[in-house]
Structure 1
Amino acid sequence: AEAAAAALAHGTAVVAVGGDGSLGTVAQAAHAAGCPMGVIPYGTFNYFARTHGIPTEPAAAVRHVLDAHPQPVQVGGINDRVFLVNASLGVYPELLQDREAYKARFGRSRWVAFVAGCATLLRAQRRLRLHIETGATVRDVQTLTLFVGNNRLQLQQLGAEPEDTVVGTPGDGSLAALMLRPIGTLSMLGLMLRGAMGRLGEAAGVECFEFTHMVVKPRLARGRKEIVVAFDGEVARMRAPIDLRVLDQPLYLLQAPGAAGEPAAGA
């Protein structure tokens, strides 16, 4: 926060180095201060950088930042926190915790992340009971996880892009929600196979929809007021209800003229 305030006062920018989780931490401070932010990606997936045309090779990313100018990009909000790529409740935060344990033991790679995810999903049993409000629509659901995406590249990779029902697209005017209804072990194996093939949205028990603002009220045990959530790979506890929305104020990202993100699948 101090670095962002100092950069704003001197008419410069903060530069974040790391994966999507580290970038999200810096973005929280930069967004609050209204300070431009540059990115040097150094993570496993680098969805945010790739979506916004930032090279994933560090030296090229540094050159990109030096040639860049601030451009507004959409960020999501989960209660009082900002997220760049995704936010979630339920089994997905558990998956992230397991993934970090696997990485500490076996190293950082996409295969390690995939194996950790499979192990978490196969033992997933805990159901969330959620009261969901999106505009005039109100409903009660049971789900293993509620995943909210602000990044078209990640959604395309999963094959989980929602129908176009509101103005804009996920990451540029709207957010995408994905819910996984409780299913058996065999169905879960089929779901993981579809996810690996980029066809998650076709799986039975998976629901995808688009929104700009959603309030989630989880049914908690007596005396509990907080629920475990994840945002951009970071896991924390938040007080219910959970408010998810497209933030009116953008993040000012340093982008070079003509920078283009990775093309859409099939484009």
Structure 2
Amino acid sequence: MTQSARQPLPAETPLFIVLNASSGRHEGGEVRQTIERVLGDAGRRFTIFEAINGSELPDQARAALAQARQQHGAVIAAGGDGTLNAVSNLVLGSGVPFGILPQGTFNYFGRSYGIPQDTEHACRCLLDAVIEPVQVGLLNGKVFLVNASLGLYPTLLEDREAWKQRYGRSRLVALWSALATLFRAHRQFRVQLETSGQLRHLRTQTIVVGNNALQLEHLGIAERDALQSKQLVAMTARPMGTLALYGLVLRGLLSRLGDAEQVSSFAFQRMRVRLGKSGRKVKVAMDGEISWMYSPLLFQVADQCLPLLVPRDESLREHDA
């Protein structure tokens, strides 16, 4: 979508901010103070719905969305990837604009649209924002903004969160956690993939479906351009041992994962994944959050776009290095 085609957010639009005080890199109190200072100094109408922990997040998000609908406002999610995911699940299809104040470690979603990770700068961008429709993926009807996965990848994410709780949030901690996880033996499973009426059978340790061009570019996946054609990108790998898995990590760090002979990737609009009998419970991850779903798993592009608030002024957009 071109800049001229974007719809400006009226300056009088009230902002209803869902703040997850327990997520992200910073203390919730620090983030809240920054929000109140920047928006207050600008004279912008806003209300903060603070979730002390993750269990309170859905109720606070529903309350914020209800107020935004009544007062023709916008809903803003302030937190890590899981917070952005949870709030966007409610906002999608509501007609309410959606903004973010990202607090996550990698922030692939925000970086893709030039939204700064610094809370103060991101708040200032909300003061002069435009609405840009962006594609989201669905897994069994649930939104994912960056990726969704099953198999080994959710295990990596679970272990990474445990390491972060112990050693702090950083990309180096995430890397060491991955190396420790891959050192263990991991289960293989047989899956049936159905796309465009065609069936394929494979044995793998993981399936990852991407919806973020920046992440796919950093990994070196050639099909990333397919996202511009309203498609998602699936990545699978043949079963392999620890040394080969370490090699894939290295290739990913060098943006060459797509060159590995063990890795295959392809674009699609709709893919059904079956693991054994229907009704089997499967551990999945969506934007870093772990949950259980029943097989078969249906990955698809959402019919509706998410009306994302992005900086109007290109000089305020944070360009990825």
TM-score, normalised to structure 1, is 0.91
CA contact (8 A) 1:75 1:171 kept: no
Aligned partner of 2:299 among 244, 247, 258: 244
Aligned partner of 1:142 among 191, 198, 203: 203
Between the aligned partners of 1:81 and 1:74, the Cα distance in structure 2 is 14
SS at match of 1:126: coil
> Residue 128 of structure 1: CA displacement?
2.1
Question: Corresponding residue for 2:127?
Answer: 66
* Matching residue's letter, 1:94: T
> Residue 170 of structure 1: CA displacement?
2.2
Seen in structure 2, the aligned counterparts of structure 1 residues 202 and 58 have a Cα distance that, compared at 3 Å, is: same
SS at match of 1:162: helix
Question: Corresponding residue for 1:183?
Answer: 240
Structure 2 alignment gaps of length 5 or more: 1-61
Between the aligned partners of 1:60 and 1:89, the Cα distance in structure 2 is 35
Aligned partner of 1:104 among 155, 159, 165: 165
Question: In the alignment, is residue 213 of structure 1 matched against residue 248 of structure 2?
Answer: no
CA contact (8 A) 2:185 2:242 kept: no
Question: Corresponding residue for 2:189?
Answer: 128
CA contact (8 A) 1:88 1:147 kept: yes
Q: Percent of aligned pairs with the same residue?
A: 46
Question: Corresponding residue for 1:7?
Answer: 68
CA contact (8 A) 1:5 1:35 kept: no
Between the aligned partners of 1:51 and 1:213, the Cα distance in structure 2 is 23
**Which runs of structure 2 are paired with 1:1-267 in the superposition (5 Å)?**
1-162=62-223, 169-170=226-227, 173-219=230-276, 225-259=280-314, 262=319
Which deviates more from structure 2 when the two are superposed, residues 169-178 or residues 240-249? 169-178
Question: Corresponding residue for 2:32?
Answer: none
Seen in structure 2, the aligned counterparts of structure 1 residues 245 and 224 have a Cα distance that, compared at 3 Å, is: closer
CA contact (8 A) 1:72 1:252 kept: yes
**CA deviation profile, 1:98-142 (whole Å, cap 9, x unmatched):** 001000111100000111112222324201211100102211111
* Matching residue's letter, 1:247: A
Higher RCO structure (Cα 8 Å, ≥6 apart)? 1
Seen in structure 2, the aligned counterparts of structure 1 residues 261 and 131 have a Cα distance that, compared at 3 Å, is: farther
Which deviates more from structure 2 when the two are superposed, residues 42-51 or residues 115-124? 115-124
* Matching residue's letter, 2:198: T
CA contact (8 A) 1:19 1:42 kept: yes
* Matching residue's letter, 2:65: A
Structure 1 alignment gaps of length 5 or more: none
> Residue 171 of structure 1: CA displacement?
6.0
CA contact (8 A) 1:71 1:255 kept: yes
- Based on CA coordinates, which of the two structures has the bigger radius of gyration? 2
Aligned length: 258
Q: Which structure shows the bigger proportion of residues in helix conformation?
A: 2
Root mean square deviation, CA, Å: 1.9
SS at match of 1:198: coil
TM-score, normalised to structure 2, is 0.76
Which deviates more from structure 2 when the two are superposed, residues 18-27 or residues 169-178? 169-178
Which deviates more from structure 2 when the two are superposed, residues 40-49 or residues 116-125? 116-125
Seen in structure 2, the aligned counterparts of structure 1 residues 75 and 171 have a Cα distance that, compared at 3 Å, is: farther
Between the aligned partners of 2:241 and 2:300, the Cα distance in structure 1 is 32
